[in-house]
Amino acid sequence: MPSILLEAKQICKRYTSGEIVVEALHPLDFKLFQGELIVVLGPSGSGKSTLMNILSTLDRPTTGSLFFNGQPLTDKTENELSLFRKENLGLVFQFYNLIPTLTALENIQLIESHSPSPVKSEDALRRVGLWDRRDHFPSELSGGEQQRIAIARALVKRPLMIMCDEPTGALDVETGVIVLQALEEVHHDFGISIILITHNATIAHISDRTVRMSGGRVVDISTNRQHLLARELQW
């Protein structure tokens, strides 16, 4: 049985505006196992992005606890959490977040230069099939190419986890498959645990487990016994 890499216990998130209290995330438990690819599935407003923000320590839960390799995270300072993310976590967002004044390779090298045990930038760029685009700026790349650069940037620090928030949400089907294939390779070849947030139920077929959310609650957790590759998905 793989060990638990990341665990949330009874985490919830409330926002207060005057007398109005919004329960964005009801108390829930969550586990990510070492080497697992897990899909968090749900419609807009279901709480999945709020969950990712808490799991990634970009936001703190109102109540509940978060653990990494059995060690508590919720009582750490902002500086300690920043160091945790730097050393252990890669993030991939829907709209890429590349630095527009840097080339594809420079965007990756920037992260490599601040990582304690990085993958070489050149290797990370080749891994996502974009070595020939290394000198191009983000504005000269397609959306799918920019997203693959974002994946290479997440990979270069050699993290234990990568979290992706709607990584194919702004892409057409063909390009989305290419991006998912890049994530599959990173997952399998480097043993990196991946949490993939999506509203697209088709993508759940590439996961080891699927967590379904609705109304800020986890409504179902299922093990995928018919695992498909991205290129096998029926969109």
Quote the pLDDT of residue 116: 82
pLDDT at 53 > cutoff 90 = yes
DSSP per-residue letters across the chain: -PPEEEEEEEEEEEEEETTEEEEEEEEEEEEEETT-EEEEE--TTSSHHHHHHHHTTSS--SEEEEEETTEE-TTS-HHHHHHHHHHHEEEE-TT----TTS-HHHHHHHHHTT-SSPPPHHHHHHHTT-GGGTT--GGGS-HHHHHHHHHHHHHHT--SEEEEESTTTTS-HHHHHHHHHHHHHHHHHH--EEEEEES-GGGGGGSSEEEEEETTEEEEEEE-SS---GGG---
Average pLDDT estimate for 210-223: 96
Average pLDDT estimate for 38-59: 95
Per residue in 63-96, pLDDT tens? 999 999 999 999 999 999 999 999 999 999 888 8
pTM of the model: 0.93
Quote the pLDDT of residue 2: 84
Q: How far apart are CA 71 and CA 83, in angstroms?
A: 15
Per residue in 142-170, pLDDT tens? 999 999 999 999 999 999 999 999 999 88
Quote the pLDDT of residue 234: 84
Average pLDDT estimate for 194-219: 96
4-93+161-232: CATH number: 3.40.50.300
Average pLDDT estimate for 116-138: 94
Quote the pLDDT of residue 84: 94
Average pLDDT estimate for 1-27: 92
- Closest residue by Cα to residue 216 from 57, 72, 66, 15: 15
Per residue in 183-198, pLDDT tens? 999 999 999 999 999 9
Average pLDDT, the chain: 94
Between strands 20-33 and 89-92, the pairing is unpaired
pLDDT at 228 > cutoff 80 = yes
